[in-house]
Chain A
Amino acid sequence: DAGVIQSPRHEVTEMGQEVTLRCKPISGHNSLFWYRQTMMRGLELLIYFNNNVPIDDSGMPEDRFSAKMPNASFSTLKIQPSEPRDSAVYFCASSPTTGFYGYTFGSGTRLTVV
């Protein structure tokens, strides 16, 4: 299994531009999570989906952030317009229905907004 695949690995963009981060979960996993990691705030859960349906988006910082999961094998996190304070590493994770050992993180997307 290739694990959770995120793209791009690195993204540098100018303030005001739209940014789209992509995630392919592990096949058969029915839950998908988006996290943001910064030095100041650590790992924060932004949103999670169960069976492609958003369950809890209370961690999404503001309306500039949106996430979709159109099917079981793909999810996007979009920031529009981006701001320098959005610079962080964004992780996607997926998990099966039960058990924590299957909860797997991707390698992350390092976003820099200048």
Chain B
Amino acid sequence: GQQLNQSPQSMFIQEGEDVSMNCTSSSIFNTWLWYKQEPGEGPVLLIALYKAGELTSNGRLTAQFGITRKDSFLNISASIPSDVGIYFCAGVTGNQFYFGTGTSLTVIP
């Protein structure tokens, strides 16, 4: 199946710092999605990106659909403790979602 690699695998940051993470694939996708998963819960959609080069914000979150359509980026500004969780990217082709390996974020107050 499709392989989506996320980096970094984990991050430990101070509250107030900005966060950047990315997702790369060997395949082209028509849609990129970013999810957040908190302990004991299912992933929750944060942002959806529909075309190459698109930059979309949702509060302190900003995500970009890479020009090559093989990557995507997520930035979180001014992190707060409740940003803790695992962030997943997903590339979508048709009805198929291919999830990345996840980036675990820990915010130190």
Contact = CB atoms under 8 A, between A and B. Distances in A.
Contact of A101 (B48, B96, B97): B48
Interface string A71-109: 000000000000000000001010000001101111110
A107 B43 CA distance: 8
Interface residues of A, number: 20
A105 B44 contact: yes
A100 B48 contact: yes
B95 A105 contact: no
B65 interface: no
Interface string B15-42: 0000000000000000101000000111
B49 to A, nearest CB: 10
A105 B101 CA distance: 17
A105 B99 contact: no
B42 A45 contact: no
Contacts of B97: 33, 45, 103
Contact of B92 (A4, A50, A100, A106): A100
Closest 8 CB pairs of A and B: A105-B42, A43-B99, A100-B48, A91-B42, A105-B43, A42-B101, A107-B41, A106-B42
Interface of B: 31, 33, 40-45, 48, 88, 92, 95-97, 99-102
